[in-house]
Amino acid sequence: MTKIKSNRHNPVIHPHQRVGVFIDVQNLYYSAKNLYRKKVNFGNILNETVAGRKLIRAFAYVVRTESKEEMPFFDALYNLGIEKREKDLQIFYSGMKKADWDVGLTVDAIRLAPSLDAVILVSGDGDYVPLIEYLQKSTGKYVEVAAFGETASSKLIEVADSFLDLSDDQDRFLIVDRKLSENKSQTGNNSNNGQKAVDYKKNNDRKQMHKKNIKK
């Protein structure tokens, strides 16, 4: 894995490469919220990861809620040239909520791989490690990962051909969220959010260790 400050300074990138971008919206949203109490600037992330290359398709994997409050955000993604994949939020009798896009994103990435030279995964979720390894070993693709380093799976960073830590340029990749900022000022500190981010990363890495033990 090569850690880079900017894709534009990556020597293996050239303008004739065909790229596909796959954005795990939930992963980035909660990472930015728990770490910085801010929103994600998906437009700047798209521009940075594509880095002047030939963008074939860009997908954002999102969740619909009953309130429909997310519709303006969906429209903003469309205006950026990002295609959205939508899934309804599942609410179980126990009250547990679930909206998992791991399989859908994986299927899209494998399906489009023959048309791409490089696959760009925007997520820190360790569940995508098998996908990255498959794309590298079975299809010969160059796989890039962009995520917030503090919450990204260590294994995911390790197996990626290159890793862009979005936390290294917060002014570019984050947007101030007035609601979250107001809540922060009322509570007086955000130590709990930092702990949530640490716990999120530990859980990510723990899932990978569990999978390894099962394989053994």
pLDDT at residue number 214: 46
Q: Mean per-residue pLDDT for 32-56?
A: 96
- Range of weakest confidence among 77-86, 100-109, 140-149, 192-201: 192-201
Query: What does the alpha-carbon distance between residue 73 and residue 24 come to, in Å, rounded to a whole number?
Result: 14
pLDDT at residue number 178: 73
50 pLDDT tier (thresholds 50, 70, 90): very high
Reply yes or no on whether the pLDDT at 28 is more than 90.
yes
Q: Which residue has the higher pLDDT, 193 or 35?
A: 35
Instruction: State which H helix or E strand residue 194 sits in.
Output: helix 191-215
Reply yes or no on whether the pLDDT at 197 is more than 90.
no
Reply yes or no on whether the pLDDT at 191 is more than 50.
no
Query: What does the alpha-carbon distance between residue 153 and residue 128 come to, in Å, rounded to a whole number?
Result: 10
Reply yes or no on whether the pLDDT at 146 is more than 70.
yes
Q: Report yes or no: 91 and 127 within 8 Å, Cβ to Cβ.
A: no
91 SS3 class: strand
pLDDT at residue number 11: 82
Q: Mean per-residue pLDDT for 97-105?
A: 77
Query: What does the alpha-carbon distance between residue 118 and residue 136 come to, in Å, rounded to a whole number?
Result: 10
Domains of the chain in sequence order: 2-215 (3.40.50.1010)
SS percent in the chain: helix, strand, coil, step 5:
50, 25, 25
Nearest to 134 by CA among 154, 149, 150, 119: 119
Q: Report yes or no: 20 and 116 within 8 Å, Cβ to Cβ.
A: yes
Nearest to 141 by CA among 163, 101, 106, 110: 110
Reply yes or no on whether the pLDDT at 70 is more than 90.
no
Nearest to 44 by CA among 61, 21, 26, 63: 21
pLDDT at residue number 24: 96
Could you tell me what percent of the chain has a pLDDT over 70?
75
Q: Which residue has the higher pLDDT, 185 or 57?
A: 57
Could you tell me what percent of the chain has a pLDDT over 90?
61
